Amino acid sequence: MPPARVDPDRLRSLGAALGPLRECARDGAEEVLEQFPEVGDRETQAVLDGWVEQLADLLREIEATATDLAGQLHVASLAEPTGPTDPGGLPDPAGRDDRVRS
């Protein structure tokens, strides 16, 4: 059975909704890296530095994943037909949608 039809506008709006997440993750990674506290003890400092770098890497990965997903949603929205279709998948020139819905 073919996948259910999805409204292209919903795909685009979902992709756009990822924008604030991407910005927040990008800005958060930069802010975390600007906040390297110094504790004095070399071993503790090395552990703390590692944690800060891991957090920045995680935030960068969230940004990259959200960017990729937004791009995939945009491509999917372009692939979806915008009007009613006939069973063959081509737009119905009369604007009817006679397909059986499940």
Residue-wise pLDDT for 16-67, tens only, equals 999 999 999 999 999 999 987 788 889 999 999 999 999 999 999 999 999 9
Phi, psi values for residue 72, rounded to 5° = -65, -40
Residues 6+ away with beta carbon under 8 Å from 83: 91, 92, 95
> Domain residue spans in the chain?
8-79
Q: Tokens 């960017």 correspond to what residue?
A: 67
Residue 10, pLDDT score: 92
Residue 102 confidence class, pLDDT cut points 50, 70, 90: very low
Q: What is the pTM of this model?
A: 0.68
Distance of CA 93 to the CA centre of its chain: 34
Q: What's the token pair of residue 56?
A: 């920045």
Higher pLDDT, 16 or 2: 16
Distance of CA 82 to the CA centre of its chain: 22
